[in-house]
Amino acid sequence: MNVSVIFGGKNFPLHPIDLTVIASTTPAEPIVCINTITYQPEDTANVDFTLGDTFMRNVYTLYDFGSWSKAASPPGKKKGAPFMQLLSVTDADQAWAEFDALNAARIAQFSGQFAPLAPNQTVPTL
């Protein structure tokens, strides 16, 4: 699946490998892929959504905290408000083409390193 976030008319594609994590609770259960984009609980005040590591791995981000003092700005330059700029580093077509191989390698590595849980051990769930 191709997923992109659009800000100000600019497209920021997310690499499919960043959209899933693999998991399994026991060696007898199959390995599953879980989506990394989740819902925001309704009681979360004043938050539309949160862009976390899934998004941030796909962009370079520049933060400018603006000019807060007269001395910080050169003469004649307008005092600036804080801003943020994003630059996409993911090529959507290349990401889609390499996903199957990357995911197969990740699953093989996960399977080889899987350590079964002790009978009385539990796995925390979110």
For residue 62, is it within any domain?
no
What percentage of residues in the chain have a pLDDT greater than 90?
36
Per-residue confidence (pLDDT) for residue 119, from 0 to 100 = 59
For residue 67, is it within any domain?
no
Predicted model pTM? 0.69
At 66-84, the pLDDT tens digits run: 876 666 556 666 667 888 9
At 29-79, the pLDDT tens digits run: 777 888 888 777 777 667 777 788 899 999 999 998 887 666 655 666 666
Side chain identity at residue 51, one-letter code: L
For residue 96, is it within any domain?
yes
For residue 76, is it within any domain?
no
Per the structure, the complete domain to which residue 42 belongs is given by 3-57+90-113
For residue 122, is it within any domain?
no
For residue 84, is it within any domain?
no
Report the domain count for the chain: 1
Side chain identity at residue 45, one-letter code: A
* CA gap 117, 123 in Å, rounded: 8
Most confident of 13-22, 36-45, 114-123: 13-22
For residue 50, is it within any domain?
yes
For residue 27, is it within any domain?
yes
Is residue 115 over pLDDT 80? no
Quote the tokens at residue 44. 């979360």
Quote the tokens at residue 24. 């399994």
CATH number of the domain enclosing 49: 2.40.70
Average pLDDT over residues 107-112: 78
Residue with tokens 């197969």: 104
